[in-house]
Amino acid sequence: MRELHPFMGHSEDTLQEEAEAVASAALQVFDELDFLYDLLFPRGLGPARTSNDQNRALRRKQPTRICSWSPEDCCGGDVQAAHIKPDYLGGLAVPGNLIWLCRFHHALLDLHLRAKMRIDRGSQRIVATVSDTPPSEDAGGGEPLSIWTAIPDKSAWPLPLKPQSIAHLFV
């Protein structure tokens, strides 16, 4: 009975309104914290971000689950479903907006080069726009920096992708 003492004298409607106000304030704080968390720790674009149905759909469209990067670049390891149009710009996790990339090439495009990709239907290629700011030496310079330096036109860089690995985008 002692636990109810602070609430005595309040109507049920008043308590309900106060509870709703507290819940609303808590949700607002949660949304603000979630926004800050996304700014501080950008979410990866790996398979965990796409549902099993979307992964299955991408596997049907591109059954060879190998990195789509050019054949000259021999990469191995885990592949991830990479967004062509990023989800933060409204890109959906559907087969027409996904390709397989290894962790290195995915990080190269998303983190180091900060590339925004688009599909060029005329040339049937994926073209990237990369940041005007070079990758910093301390945060993964090296190869990403040399790739960034070698891109003559930062606004239209045709990615060196395997044609068979992006064919599903043009059917």
Q: pLDDT tens digits, residue range 16-66?
A: 777 777 766 666 665 565 555 444 544 443 334 556 666 777 777 777 788
Instruction: Examine the pLDDT at 13 and tell me if it is beyond 50.
Output: yes
Q: Are 148 and 108 within 8 A, CB to CB?
A: no
* Average pLDDT value for residue range 107-136: 89
Question: Which has more pLDDT, 32 or 164?
Answer: 164
Handedness of CA 58, 60, 61, 63 (dihedral sign): positive
Domain boundaries, the chain: 10-40, 47-170
**SS3 letters for the chain?**
CHHHHHHCCCCHHHHHHHHHHHHHHHHHHHHHHHHHHHHHCCCCCCHHHCCHHHHHHHHHHCCCCCCCECCCCCCCCCEEEEECCCHHHCCCCCHHHEEEEEHHHHHHHHHHCCCEEEEECCCCEEEEECCCCCCCCCCCCHHHHHHHHHCCCCCCEECCECHHHHHHHHC
Q: Quick: pLDDT tens for 81-99.
A: 888 988 888 888 888 888 8
Percent of the chain residues past pLDDT 70, beyond the cut: 69
Enter the tokens of residue 164. 């068979």
pLDDT at position 7 is 58
Map residue 49 onto helix, strand or coil.
helix
Enter the tokens of residue 54. 């979307």
- Give the type of residue at 80: Q
pLDDT at position 155 is 94
pLDDT at position 56 is 74
pLDDT at position 137 is 62
* Average pLDDT value for residue range 3-10: 60
CA distance 18 to 165: 56
pTM over 0.75: no
CA 152, chain centre distance (Å): 26
Name the CA radius of gyration of the chain, rounded. Answer: 23
